[in-house]
Structure 1
Amino acid sequence: MAAESVTPWRENLAKLGTTLPPVTAPVAAYVPALRSGSLVYTSGQLPFVDGKLVAEGKVGAEVTVEAAAEAARLCALNALAAVHDLVGLDEVVRIVKVVGFVASAPGFGDQPVVINGASQFLGAVFGDAGAHARSAVGVSELPRNTPVEVELIAEVR
């Protein structure tokens, strides 16, 4: 018998007009998610949709803040898919931590605004259980010239 979901994540995803995608295959030697005790750690997720990046380049140059925030939302969605594939989102008690990396043009300083795309999405999916600690880090380069990469830690039952 399945345990009752802590949050109505399925309904919330439907309200947002989205569903969980298939887990993106790793592009190197790692696994998409790993459980240790009551925590699930995801690897950094890129903004892939149907196997293709939705944006490329640096935020503040080739990529707008708005496009990068949408890319961060997609990264968070892909991270949730990795968690779901490993343990099922019904097991999520809360999102504990989000780390977002933003490929930043020189002088760009709105990394927190970009990563809000992921944070606000997680809040919309999990409600209060989606509130989390966070880091938003500007970097000079990310894999595959993506503008954003997001990883998360989820507490699970």
Structure 2
Amino acid sequence: MTPALLVVLLLVVGLALLAIEVFVIPGVGLVGLLGGAAVVGAVAVAWATLGAAHGLLALGAGACAAGLLFWAFARTRAGQKMVLLETQRSGRGPDARLAALAGKEGRALTPLRPAGTVEIDERAVDVVTDGLYVEAGTPVRVSSVEGNRVVVEPRKP
């Protein structure tokens, strides 16, 4: 067997094993590792016996063929199940009622260390302070509202 035939045989076997790994049994298993090893072996044999030019040619052919396999896999039903095609939103956006709390006053229901709960307009609201510790029962004022983040400060007498 000539070295050129061995290189072609290793490339074909390696790419066939990679195709089986990609299309039949997706994952990183023994078949894919053997296919990758065969392609690397083809490049090594080509480089050692036929020279650097043929080694680079084998490397390029193997890389292009492997790239085409993965490109084709992305268009299969199994490949499309692995790709997120649309943005899925979960959770909620900012509560529009919180913006109306800016400047309002209330009292701390729990200690604010710096997060806790205050009562404003007979409604319990989760709040934070700017790093201050505030005892429960202390009068507070809403200094700012940033999305769902309500910042309070102790009210000045």
Higher strand fraction: Structure 1 or Structure 2?
A: 1
Fold match by TM threshold 0.5: no
Higher helix fraction: Structure 1 or Structure 2?
A: 2
TM-score under structure 1 length normalisation: 0.27
TM-score under structure 2 length normalisation: 0.27
> Looking at both structures, which has the greater relative contact order when contacts are Cα pairs under 8 Å and sequence separation is at least 6?
1
